[in-house]
Structure 1
Amino acid sequence: MTSATLLHLDSGISPTGSVSRALTDRFATAWRARHGDTARLRYRDLAADPVPAVGAAYETLGRRTERKGPLPPEDVAALAENPDEAREWALSRPLIEELRAADTLLLGSPMYNLTVSSGLKAWIDRVSFPGAYVDPGTGERLLRDTRVVVVAVRGGGYGPGTPREHVDFQVPYLRAYFGNLGVTAEHLHVVTAELTRAADVPALNGLEPLAVESLAAAEAAVDELAAAL
């Protein structure tokens, strides 16, 4: 079996009792067992070790780079005109290269206020540098073969046919984002676990059986993906 690389990101703010962390750990454990000692795993906790928010110099450097077209990382560094721009690129480049090097991205994403966490959004903003995922020579999308597994956890119910489906700005956002980044639809997998707060939110009382069912389905989906990717 050829060597494979997994980039595992958790973004839940709760270090213990987190459903998203339990599910991503389940996937990562099975994935490593399947791929063996040759597999490479890179882990980031975006809540415990947050990515710095981008600043104005990031935008300035990005615009200058965009005018040049897709560039290799070393050429982007040469475009920095001041220490602030150099610092923004120094913070961004390792994260971008991690994503580019990954065969599979595993992302734990609990819903906060109808969307993704601030820690995940900071990572998204920083890795979304103009031209970073386009081959400078061929124009091909560098993430076209990257598999992405999004583990989306929600305290309530937002799935298709539910009354709150229209206010889900978590899963549709992540689908659109990774699609825009160049990840193909066939390689983007979303696993959802819903109603995780059915036991402690009065408005959700009585929905505990559905929560158990949703979690069991998510665990099964995670196991299936870990066995296939």
Structure 2
Amino acid sequence: MAPLNLLHLDSSARANSFSRRLGRTFADAWASAHPNGHYVHRDLAATPVPPIGQGWTEICDELLRRRITDPTRYPDAVRTAAQREAWAVVRPLLDELLAADVVLIGAPMYNFSIPASLKAWIDQVTFPRMSLAPRTFVVAGARGGSYLPGTPRFPFDHHESYLRDFIDGHYGVDDVTFVNAELVNALVDPTLEPRTREHEESAATATARVPDVVADITRRRARP
């Protein structure tokens, strides 16, 4: 099997967050399983990408008009100074994404959804009619409460549901795995303190899943 490239994104504002811990656990297990693979880490909280602007929207309009769907031809739509300025931001981000076989996203839930830093990255690297198949995505998530199916807060989960719908619906990638730690606010919120044991079990289960997720992806990517 050819070496596989891993792109690892972190987006938590906390230096030692559960999403970062889970992501690091995955990255370490991946490195052990793929010592010859290439690894790129981008911390979107420490080094935020800017929001998209007018130049970026003009590039998208031109891609649509010219029916360009091949990312290698995206630069053909870059003409004006504003567009070149926008493309200078996009290009390194997009190059990292396109070079990756596996994309690992550390994504805590903020206000029922994802951090603004991660949304800004998604906006920068997402273009019309863009397919990223057959890449694999893994999301290392952490949520303050419990948003599992069947729980009262499940309908408010715009975190996993958004990322799953986006990765599959826009990027055309159905190979996505979520590893989430629930109820992390039990460690700081007195009203959730009685559920600390549930959080500990959830975090331990998520961490224990990581080697199996790595092994499963490795098996699937090795198939001819």
1:57 aligns with 2:55: yes
Contact 1:73 1:93 in 2 (8 A): no
| Contact kept in structure 2, 1:7 and 1:42, CA below 8 Å | yes
Cα distance in 2 for partners of 1:222, 1:70 equals 38
- Aligned with 2:85 (options 79, 84, 87): 87
Q: TM-score, normalised by structure 1?
A: 0.89
1:73 CA displacement: 4.8
How far apart are the structure 1 equivalents of 2:21 and 2:72? 38
CA contact (8 A) 1:30 1:227 kept: no
Map of 2:181 onto structure 1 = 193
**Residues 109-124 of structure 1 aligned to structure 2 (within 5 Å):** 109-124=107-122
What stretches of structure 2 of length at least 5 have no aligned partner?
218-224
- Residue correspondence of structure 1 range 1-229 to structure 2 within 5 A: 1-15=1-15, 17-36=16-35, 38-73=36-71, 75-131=73-129, 133=130, 141=131, 143-185=132-174, 187-229=175-217
Q: Is the 8 A contact 1:77 1:86 kept in 2?
A: no
CA distance in 2, matches of 1:189, 1:162: 20
Could you say which residue in structure 1 is the equivalent of 2:220?
none
Give the structure-2-normalised TM-score. Answer: 0.91
Cα distance between partner residues in 2 of 1:71 and 1:179: 17
Contact 2:12/2:108 (<8 A) preserved:
yes
Measured in 1, the distance between the counterparts of 2:71 and 2:150 equals 45
Amino acid at match of 1:214: S
Whether the 8 Å contact between 2:68 and 2:74 is mirrored in structure 1 is no
C-alpha contact (below 8 Å) 1:105/1:146 kept by paired residues: yes
8 A Cα contact 2:69 2:128, kept in partner: no
Alpha-carbon distance in structure 2 between the residues aligned to 1:203 and 1:40: 44
Equivalenced residue count is 217
Report the CA distance shift for 1:178/1:73 in structure 2 as closer, same or farther (over 3 A).
Answer: closer
- Matched residue of 1:204: which SS? helix
Shift of 1:50: 0.6
